[in-house]
Structure 1
Amino acid sequence: MKFKTLKQRLIFTLTIGMLMSFMLMAFTSYNAIYSMQQNKINTSIVSALERFTDQCDRDYYNLMQITQQMMPQGYVGSDVDGYFFADQQFDKAMLSRRISNNIEMLTYSYPNVQLVMYYNPKDNAPLFSNLPPSEDLLLQHLPSLKQNLEISYQPPHSSGYRFSGGQVISVTRDAVFSNGLKLVLYAETKNDMGENFDDIFGSQHMPYILLQIDKNQQIKYSSNSNVFKVGQTLNLDSQKPSGTIEGYIWNRKDSHHGFTNVLLLPISSYNRELYAWRTNISLIAIFTLLVMVVTAIMLHQLIYKPLYIFEEEMEELGNGNMTMVDYNTGVEEFDHMFDQFNAMKMRIQTLMQDIENKERQRHKLEIEKLSYQINPHFLMNALNSAHWMAVMHQQHDIDSYISKLNYILSYSLGKSDQDTTLRTEIKMLKTYIELQKTRYDFEACINIEEGDYLDICVPRLILQPLAENAICHGLDENGILNIDISADYSDKIIKIIIADNGKGLDKQALEALLCPNGLDEDSFGQGIGLRYVYLMLESFYGRGDLMHIESEPDMGTKVMLVLPFQGR
């Protein structure tokens, strides 16, 4: 697609620039939000789940260690076994006290352990405990997480301690004593990982659900039974540590005790920051569009309004209106452009004035040329009559002189040698010098290098006026006129040098000669010939730097023409 107008290109450039900036910002911010979500939220989920699972594994292991000492072969269980075989009440009382003390000693190194007791399932009553159990405690009603032989793991549930309502995990263990009595060993420990989850995800306003499932993926514990019920079976990919299910993102961690902890977060909460990013990026897009529209309007005012004014000025200039107009657009570059435009108007006016002056000078030169010729048609006819009279009276010198003068006049009028070449100009120059020798006493040294360049076309009458100035205005008696004509084929130029050893010119006179526009004061003097040669060269070659004059008082004058092989 090509845009021909400045407006189209500006709109295209502005749109592309804004879109690229917006896309770069959107891409960068999305990656930042996504990376933060992955690093912050995912790391928080995995880290919290691992800590919870490790804590559960340690707590269950500690409870197993406690119940191991409560077995008949343990140091606490052996006293219980002896209690059942004691006959005296005093012995039973002493053993009962020692059993309670041993239980307290056993739990002393586990500060989170709360209720530890021997429970008679037949009577649904505790026998020995370190703390008073709740009156309505029934162990058979406790939820079961996993059964491993005689050991049963319970998920988080309310504490059996009478004066505590917190969440605990527990282990029950079946034991048979020597008298055949079957008792259940119970030990529980506080588990505050739920509070840790609240601290982690509550600050981010992200509701979570904690599940504990068995190897068949059946839910054994749920922190939110309204969404995931106990007994419900999940369909989690066992090969992946995370995934999505029913609008939730899940992460899993297997326990060393044969069950799995699962932490779930709602996808809507998980992607809350991405949703907020979409809303913000939409607002930014609208704002960017407004900025682009405002910028386009400002650019139109700043650029197109001055351009419209400039276009009107160009039309006025085309119609010939050269009036200077002062504009203040408020933009320095456009004000400078209008200043340059006004300067251009002034230069155009100056050039037009110069052209008018040159036309007047050319017209004046034509008039002077006609005056200088003094009716040459009549003069030529008279010379022809004098020529035949000299022939009839056998006056050969007069005949030769008149014939040469007639040739010069005929050449100057264009009557002969219409196709002027350098060779013809040289012939004209030699004829003129021969005529002048009959009047003036001087020596002429003419050196001409032969070559094809002599047949090159040149302007008419450019050598004779230079020779005339040297003979009539420069040479004294017994003066010498040197004329050298040669060609430089490498530079494709012709060098013509006309020099005299006469009285020369002072600095002021030389500067007047070097200024062609200042040579119109003497109508028939030295200036008219030089001005004619200068104008002819400029007209034929299109250049005004082809004639060079050097002169010093009493040292003579040298005029050099450097002519190209071809005119313009």
Structure 2
Amino acid sequence: MGNLRHLIGFITGTDKRRRGRERFMSSTVRSKSSAYRYLQGLTLKRRIMILFLGSSLIPFLSIGAISYSTIYSMLQNKIQSGIVSNLKGVQQSLENTLTNLNHVSQQLAFEGSVGRKLDLLLAAKEPYERSRLTEEVRNELSLITFTNPNIGLTLYYFQKEGTTIFENMGVKDGFAPEKAPLLGHYNGISYYGPHPSSNRFVNQIVLSALRRVELPDRQDVYVYIESGFRLTSGILTGDGFGGKVAHLILDHDGRVAYSHIPSVFPVDSLFPGFTREGTSGEYAGHYWFRERSSQGWSVLSVIPAGDYNREMNRWWTQVLLSSLVFLLISLLLGWLLWKMVYKPLGAFHGEIESMEQQSGQGQPGGESAVETAASLAPATHIPEFDDLLQRFREMRGQIWTLFAEVEQKEKRRADLEVEKLLYQINPHFLMNTLDTVHWLAVLHGQGEIDRLVQSLNKLLYYNLGKLGQESTIREELDALQQYLTLQEIRYDFKFLVRIEADERVLDTPIPRFLLQPLVENALYHGLDDEGLIEVDVRQEGSAVRIIVQDNGAGMSEEAVRRLLEEPPPEERRVGMGIGMNYVKRMMAIHYGEGAGLAIRSAAGEGTRIELRLPLTGEDYT
């Protein structure tokens, strides 16, 4: 029955099961890695969430990292290639424009037909001749500008006088081409970077070239040519990667000749960190890319960092939104998985709690136990869990039925054992005593018979009382006195008995026939003339201490161990084994684990037997 109670305690989740689980967990945790130790301390819900998120997010993050590296490289290449491609187009267009200006200026210089006619015109004295040459120069200028639609304002400039002739368009007042930003000077021609046109009727950005005509008699005459303003505007505006791009034009020494963003890169300032070999860089929150022309000047595309990273940021936003949705889906699936497991666990928890309550309040037996089990938690609709739950309920009903049967059997067995022991001891004692009465009557006449019979009657009345009925320490000591009176008459040697008892415990309930077997053992085993038996009854705290001590032959350690641990053989009908077994059984039945029995003995030094019987609340004073 004791083993069954431990089994019930384990199944019902009592404190012992909880402590055992904690000991198991602590012993297991010490042998695991730090990550596993962390998981061991988490609830099932958190473990499911962590493992589910880990199994979901680790592949996602791995793919994301690879995708990021690949897409980042692709986007960078796309952006940079777009910018560089556009920049090369700008550089090539500017170079072609300047080349075209150079080609047209060659026709207007002294080596060209128009330049020679200008020299003749300046040298002519006759009005007619001058008129004819003027008309010819105008016609040829018109033809040149007509056949070159990318050419804008064209004229001859007399530097000393500051005057112009043969303008194909109106010229602004204060015309001074030298004030435009110089882009470079090559082979006698000066190129000026983008600047406002000198055309009186427009104010667009143009490129220009100033070339000396090289007249024999005058060195201050120049050809001034501007590019078409729509051409320049188309070259310097546009994007190369889906965003707005600003342009800079630098001369051979890195001076800014033209700037779309003068607040960051002022005109006539040296470009920050300029080197002749540098092709890209970053400055003041802007990325720049450079293309160098064969003539030495450079054109730069400048992009704000925000525009440059816009497409990358857009991709990052998409990735983060996708990750968030994926995380929410993973959490939802983990939660659904937890709910799927939690419902069966809740059913098992309810079954265990009901089992705990029934264990504390008494348990149903037989068919009622099975009916109670079947009427508790509803089905989980998960076949595996429903099958386990049904088996658990059936097992619980069987355990309660078995528990009731074993408890009844143990109770009947205990009663039979006590009754058997009493019937083994009492007839034995009665037969010996009656035999002694017989021989005394024969040998000594009637002098001792009266005393013997009176003691015998009192002792028999006490010993043959109702089975299982309790007595008091006072009544047990009085019966012991009657027993010793009979034994003094029976034995042919003299022995002394001392009995001391605490008055406070004389009325304490005690199992019947508990002291006599201990005193009888002292008489049977080794007590001789001058023998002494001491019985001491005292209250110690919340227990009664009873000591029976003799100065007889004593016992070995092996004999003491057999008395305390081994049941007596069936064939032993008398002696210490049966008496001690009776005492142990009675103490177990009446006091359980609260009582104590100890024997100390050595050969030639006597035996000391000590009983400790717990007091109940009513007996304890």
Shorter-chain TM-score range: 0.5 to 0.7
Q: How much does 1:211 deviate?
A: 1.5
Cα distance in 2 for residues equivalent to 1:352 and 1:317: 10
Q: Which residue of 2 aligns with 1:219?
A: 256
When residues 193 and 82 of structure 1 are mapped into structure 2, their CA distance, relative to the original with a 3 A threshold, is: closer
CA contact (8 A) 1:113 1:190 kept: yes
* 1:307-331, Cα deviation, whole Å (9 max, x unpaired): 23134436768977433358666x6
Cα pair distance change 1:275/1:70, threshold 3 Å: same
Within-5 A mapping of 1:74-223 = 74-180=112-218, 182-190=220-228, 192=231, 194-195=233-234, 198-200=237-239, 204=243, 206=244, 208-223=245-260
> What is the CA–CA distance in structure 1 between the aligned matches of 2:313 and 2:150, rounded to whole Å?
42
- 1:251–1:315 Cα change, 3 Å: same
In 2 relative to 1, CA 122–281 (structure 1 residues): closer, same or farther, beyond 3 Å? same
Preserved CA contact (<8 Å) 1:72 1:176: yes
Partner of 1:324: 374
Q: Distance in 2 between matches of 1:233 and 1:114?
A: 30
Q: Alpha carbons of 1:297 and 1:39: their partners in 2 closer, same or farther (altered >3 Å)? A: same
**CA RMSD after TM alignment:** 3.6
Structure 1 residue 241: Cα displacement: 1.8
Q: Tell me, in whole angstroms, the C-alpha distance in 2 between the residues paired with 1:50 and 1:130.
A: 32
Q: Hey, what's the Cα distance between the residues in 2 that align with 1:38 and 1:202? A: 10
Contact 1:119 1:128 in 2 (8 A): no
C-alpha distance 312-155 of structure 1, shift in aligned 2 (>3 A): same
What percent identity do the matched residue pairs reach? 26
Q: Name the CA distance, whole Å, in 2 between partners of 1:76 and 1:126.
A: 16
User: How big is each residue's C-alpha offset from its partner over 1:108-160, in whole Å with a ceiling of 9 and x where there is no partner?
Assistant: 33211111211111222211233333344222322211122421001111222
CA drift of 1:15 comes to 2.7
Could you report, residue by residue, the CA deviation over 1:510-529 in whole angstroms, capped at 9, with x for unpaired residues?
xxxxxxxxxxxxxxxxxxxx
Letter in 1 for 2:131: A
SS in 2 for 1:176: coil
CA distance in 2 between counterparts of 1:283 and 1:154 reads 51
**Deviation at residue 345 of structure 1 after TM alignment:** 5.8
State the TM-score, normalizing by the size of structure 2: 0.50
Aligned match of 2:545? none
CA contact (8 A) 1:103 1:129 kept: no
1:201-242 per-position Cα deviation (integer Å, ceiling 9, x unaligned)? 6963x4x43211123212222222221112211213443421
Compare 297-306 and 241-250 and name the one that shifted more.
Answer: 297-306
Distance 1:126 1:193, change over 3 A: closer
CA separation in 2, counterparts of 1:347 and 1:64? 107
Structure 1 distance, partners of 2:246, 2:293, is: 18
Q: Deviations over 1:43-89 (max 9, x none)?
A: 22101110011011111111111111111121111111111222221
Q: What is the identity, as a one-letter code, of the residue corresponding to 1:11?
A: M
Does residue 338 of the first structure (1) align with residue 375 of the second (2)?
A: no
Distance 2:285 2:395 in 1: 81
> Which stretches in structure 2 are left out of the alignment for 5+ residues?
1-34, 360-364, 402-621
How many residue pairs get aligned? The number is 351
For residues 188 and 336 of structure 1, what CA distance do their matches in structure 2 show? 91
Contact 1:52 / 1:193 at 8 angstroms: preserved in 2?
no
Change (3 A) 1:327 1:197: farther
CA contact (8 A) 2:154 2:226 kept: yes
Give secondary structure in 2 for the equivalent of 1:134: coil
Letter in structure 1 aligned against 2:386: F
Seen in structure 2, the aligned counterparts of structure 1 residues 8 and 132 have a Cα distance that, compared at 3 Å, is closer
Q: Distance in 2 between matches of 1:335 and 1:146?
A: 89
Partner Cα separation in structure 1 for residue 284 and residue 198 of structure 2? 35
Structure 2 counterpart of 1:186, one-letter code: Y
Report the residue type matching 1:342 in the other structure.
Q
Q: Distance in 2 between matches of 1:87 and 1:197?
A: 47
Given the alignment, which residue of 269, 283, 302 partners 1:232? 269
Higher relative contact order (CA closer than 8 Å, sequence separation 6+): 2
Distance 1:100 1:202, change over 3 A: farther
Does residue 34 (structure 1) correspond to residue 72 (structure 2)? The answer is yes
1:110–1:36: structure 2 CA closer, same or farther, 3 Å change rule? farther
> Structure 1 residues 215, 138: CA separation in 2 closer, same or farther (over 3 Å shift)?
closer
Deviations 1:179-203 (A, max 9, x none): 3352111111126454465432696
What are the equivalent positions in structure 2 for 1:339-378 lying under 5 Å apart? 339=387, 341-342=389-390
CA-CA distance at 1:263 after TM superposition: 1.5
CA distance 1:253–1:299, change in 2 (3 Å): same
TM-aligned CA distance change 1:97 to 1:132, over 3 Å:
farther
